[in-house]
Chains A and B, each alone.
Chain A
């Protein structure tokens, strides 16, 4: 079973659309994250949730809204998509004393 699963794996959409990316982890971890990896491979944290509570909200446009219905899920909704949103978005989770477990990524292309 996949530990951290993201869907979809690829997403191509037009500017101005609204889209969601889903993430689920079955590791029992308390903390989940969304990272954005740009074309230069730089990884930047966007959000972090601990037990469904938002604990990190980096400087991210408010078009991006995370939702955590329970501690095993952290979804990312993006409104009014822009060209600059094109990137790979990684979900991750972590537990006590461990490193991250990453999802396989969602490659978002805005055209």
Chain B
């Protein structure tokens, strides 16, 4: 069965700290992986995606993610977070005709 796990439910960081959010997936076929961000009161927006090729993917706003096939992981990273990065972050894997979302990680960045 397809599934996505995000182990960090709540993360609190100070500005300029480095960020890494974990995402592990379970899927038998070719994976398409995504990270979405949801700012307070807003809809989900695509941060970055991996389909194939270079396993290190760069997205918007300085975010990047690394696909490690052997670990079934697609962790999200940012070297230096800002207060405006406070949001909910969702990892997702695309299965047949639908996306499976992780439960989300709530990031709070302290100014």
Contact = CB atoms under 8 A, between A and B. Distances in A.
| Main SS class of interface, A | strand
B103 interface: yes
Interface residues of A, number: 22
A31 B94 CA distance: 13
6 contacts: A33-B98, A41-B38, A41-B106, A50-B97, A97-B51, A102-B44
| Main SS class of interface, B | strand
Interface of B: 34, 36, 38, 42-46, 49, 51, 88, 90, 92, 97-99, 101, 103-104, 106
A56 interface: yes
Contacts, number: 47
Interface in A5-52: 31, 33, 40-43, 45, 48, 50
Given A33-B98, A48-B97, A104 B90 contact: no
Interface of A: 31, 33, 40-43, 45, 48, 50, 55-56, 90, 92, 94, 97, 99-105
Contact of A31 (B43, B90, B92, B97): B97
Given A94-B99, A100-B36, 15 more contacts: A33-B98, A41-B38, A41-B106, A42-B103, A42-B104, A43-B90, A43-B104, A45-B99, A55-B97, A99-B34, A99-B92, A100-B46, A100-B99, A102-B45, A104-B43
